[in-house]
């Protein structure tokens, strides 16, 4: 199976038991596209497009994770230099109106993981830098 989205390139993807999520960044760097597929049939279940506040690679969905049951998917990015775009965005298979959760941090995220615990709680961990990735220095 292959999938192309005209005007976009894949920033990240993640696969679970019965779901696959793909984070696309627009070639013109003005918006991102999140697509959620039912993996066995490759049926597009959900799509969410959101504009970026400033053109640039920083806001691309460059890390992705999905819970093993396919209920939650999370994406991480560097975020915009002016700190107005979220570095962490979580989507739910059952809530399609907008992101389920998002977080703006002072820094940049490079990796993300989301897991659903046996008691139903969702655990999200993201790793990054305390200052924006474009800034020189340790960042924490």
pLDDT per position as a tens digit, 77-113: 988 878 788 899 999 988 877 889 999 988 899 999 9
Per-residue pLDDT at 6: 80
Query: Taking Cα atoms as reference points, which of 89, 74, 87, 78 lies closest to residue 56?
Result: 78
pLDDT under 50 in the chain at which residues?
140
- At residue 101, the pLDDT reads 92
Mean pLDDT across the chain: 86
Residue 123 pLDDT: 95
pLDDT at 91: 92
What is the Cα–Cα distance from 87 to 134, expressed in whole angstroms?
14
**CA–CA dist 139, 66 (Å, integer):** 27
């Amino acid at each position: 199976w292959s999938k192309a989205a005209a005007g976009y390139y894949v920033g990240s993807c993640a696969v679970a038991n019965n779901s696959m999520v793909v984070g696309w960044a627009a070639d013109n760097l003005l918006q991102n596209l999140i697509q959620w597929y039912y993996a066995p049939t490759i049926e597009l279940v959900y799509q969410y497009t959101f504009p970026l506040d400033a053109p640039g690679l920083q806001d691309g969905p460059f890390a992705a994770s999905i819970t093993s049951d396919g209920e939650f998917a999370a994406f991480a990015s560097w975020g915009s230099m002016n700190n107005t775009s979220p570095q962490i965005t979580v989507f739910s298979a059952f809530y399609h109106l907008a992101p389920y959760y998002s977080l703006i941090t002072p820094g940049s995220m490079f990796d993300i993981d989301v897991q659903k615990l046996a008691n139903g709680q969702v655990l999200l961990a993201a790793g990054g830098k305390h200052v924006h990735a474009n800034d020189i220095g340790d960042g924490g």
